[in-house]
Amino acid sequence: MANVEQGAERAHSARLMAIIAYVLFLVGWPTLHVTTVIAVILAYVQRGETPGALWESHFTNVIHTFWICLIVGVVAIPLCFFLVGIPIEILLAVWFLYRTIKGLLRAIDNMPYV
């Protein structure tokens, strides 16, 4: 019986950490991305503790979203001088918000990110 309770407590804790990571991600823009970095560190730590669980998909989503946004965002900045980077940055922001809000809503509903 204690194993079942520990498993439920672990799942609840992982769910809470996923929700916190998504909220930190969303708060990242006005805070100069300080909370975004904290969210990614949290996701790396928690992903290692939840292999195979549905929460692993949430932490993987946070990590992938961060790295893709960082790489595409850095590449698009110099392209802004040629006006090509501006639509790339706008599309990247929409994509970031979509993945983050979708993940947050699915975490709240106790569902995997997929």
Domains contained in the chain, number: 1
- Structural domain includes residue 103: yes
* Spatial distance between the Cα atoms of 104 and 110, rounded to a whole number of angstroms: 10
What's the pLDDT score for residue 2? 63
Asked if residue 82 has pLDDT above 60, the reply is: yes
pLDDT tens readout for residues 87-114 = 999 999 999 999 999 999 999 999 999 8
* Spatial distance between the Cα atoms of 114 and 97, rounded to a whole number of angstroms: 16
Domain that holds residue 27: 2-108
pLDDT tens readout for residues 39-76 = 999 999 999 988 888 899 999 999 999 999 999 999 99
Q: What value does the mean pLDDT take over residues 25-39?
A: 89
pTM for the predicted model, two decimal places: 0.90
Q: Which two tokens stand for residue 77?
A: 């900045």
* Spatial distance between the Cα atoms of 8 and 15, rounded to a whole number of angstroms: 10
What confidence category does residue 1 fall into, taking pLDDT thresholds of 50, 70 and 90? low
- Structural domain includes residue 113: no
Asked if residue 5 has pLDDT above 80, the reply is: no
- Structural domain includes residue 114: no
| Mean pLDDT score across all residues of the chain | 92
- Structural domain includes residue 13: yes
